[in-house]
Each structure stands twice: as structure tokens, then as C-alpha cells.
Amino acid sequence: MTAGEQLQHYLERFFALRQHGDDTVFLARLRRLQDWQGDRLKRTHAHLLEDPVTADGIRFLLEEVYGGRELLPVAREIRRALPKAMKLLPDKVMATSASALEAAILTQELDEAVVGILAERLDQPLDETTYLDGFRQDSHHADRQRQLQLVAELGHRLDRYIRSRMIQTTFRMVRKPAHAAGFANLYDFMDRSFRVMKPVPSVGLLLERLAAREETIMERVYTGHPSPFEN
């Protein structure tokens, strides 16, 4: 599929997410789950958040890509005028957008599935035992592996952009046209991702290591390790 077709497909999945509805009980449960996971990720990768070279990039991934809370205005813009966006923004940049969107959507889909499994157990403060009961689903294993693969691939896509003067120059040149055409959120989202990752010597290697650490944790969870999150 082209980058445009990929974006269209992921947009359909994004707007089908239950979190876009008005079920306040479900939304509260989802937020409790994601807050717990976010805290766990920050503990696991604290060394990256404490390193000034990687801190901004990892924070961007955990808060904006994983959390997905900044994606709704971006998705609305793309849905409204995707053909225009494809003509205006470099194809490689749009392909990176599609990769980031797929990773974020798959994460949200998995989170919503866990909320459905745990249900009313999420009406109480979440503990590790309860969380693991929701996470450890054989039917989700392949999707979780795909999730980590996407994270690693995203790093290499960002590397190709960051190291390409031509793509950077083209991207900077279309800033004003993109804003004027109504793609301010999309442009700024991608611009932030490129800027926070630029100080990292190799974003691909960084995210490969992060994904490998998360894969080790995932396999520990699935094999019943008594302390899967400990280093």
C-alpha cells in the first residue's frame, strides 16, 4: 500500500476505537490502565529519561505516541483532506507518519482489549497481579510482538529523515503552506518527533534496544515469571 492508503486504513481503525465514545466508565478504566502502564514504562526506562541526549525523545514516545492523547487533532486533519496532505508533504515524511500512527493505534487497541477483560476490576486501584491477568492473553501475543516491531522500525524511519538534508530542507519549506492548508497539527506533530530525536546518534539503535527490553519483559509475563518488570 502507498503511504496514503496506509494512513486511510489506520484512520479507519483509529476512529473505530471505543475511547472516542462517551462511555465515562470505560474511559475512566482505560485512563487508569494507561496511567499504570505509563508509570511502569518510565520506571523501566528511567535511565533513558535521565540521559539528556535521549530524554526528550523517549518522553515524546511515551506521552504522545504511546499515550495517543495528541493524535486526535492530527487524525482529524488527515481524514479531512488526506489527498492534499499527500501532495504537500514529502512522501517519506507521510510514510513515517503512517508508521507512527499504526504503532499508536495498535497500542490503543490492545489497551482497550485489556479494559474489556479486566472490566470492573479497573474500578479499583490497579496492582501488578491484576494488570498481568489482563495482559497475559495468548490471543494478544502476536499483536504485542508486532507492536514492538513497529517501534523498532519507526526508529530507522526517523534516522533516514534526520540524516537526509534534502528531506529536512523540503519539510522546512512546506511549513507555512502546511499550516495555511489546515495541517498545523500534523506538521507540528512530525516536526516535534524529528526535533526531539535529532540529538540521538542512532534512533534506530535506541528504539531497537527499547523494543528488545520490552520483548524480554513480555516473554517473562507470558511464561509466568514472578517479577517480570525487574531489571
- pLDDT (tens, 9 = 90+) of the chain, 231 residues, equals 777 788 888 888 999 999 999 999 999 999 999 999 999 999 999 999 999 999 998 998 888 777 666 678 878 887 887 777 777 777 777 777 788 888 888 999 999 999 999 999 999 999 999 999 999 999 999 999 999 999 998 888 888 877 777 777 877 888 888 888 887 887 888 888 888 888 999 999 999 999 999 999 999 999 999 999 987
Which pLDDT belongs to residue 219? Answer: 96
Which pLDDT belongs to residue 44? Answer: 95
Q: Who contacts 15 (Cβ-Cβ below 8 Å, separation ≥6)?
A: 75, 79
- For residue 53, give the C-alpha cell: 541526549
Global pTM reads 0.88
Q: How far apart are CA 75 and CA 71, in angstroms?
A: 6
Which pLDDT belongs to residue 71? Answer: 76
Which pLDDT belongs to residue 93? Answer: 73
Q: Which residue, 35, 44, 33, is CA-closest to 231?
A: 44
Which pLDDT belongs to residue 111? Answer: 96
Contact 42, 49 (CB under 8 A): yes
Which pLDDT belongs to residue 157? Answer: 83
Q: Which residue, 28, 173, 154, 7, is CA-closest to 90?
A: 173
Which pLDDT belongs to residue 217? Answer: 97
Helices (H), 18-164: 24-44, 46-50, 55-60, 71-80, 82-88, 91-118, 128-135, 141-162
Domain ranges of the chain: 3-222
Classify 104 in phi/psi space as left (phi over 0), alpha (psi -120 to 50) or beta: alpha
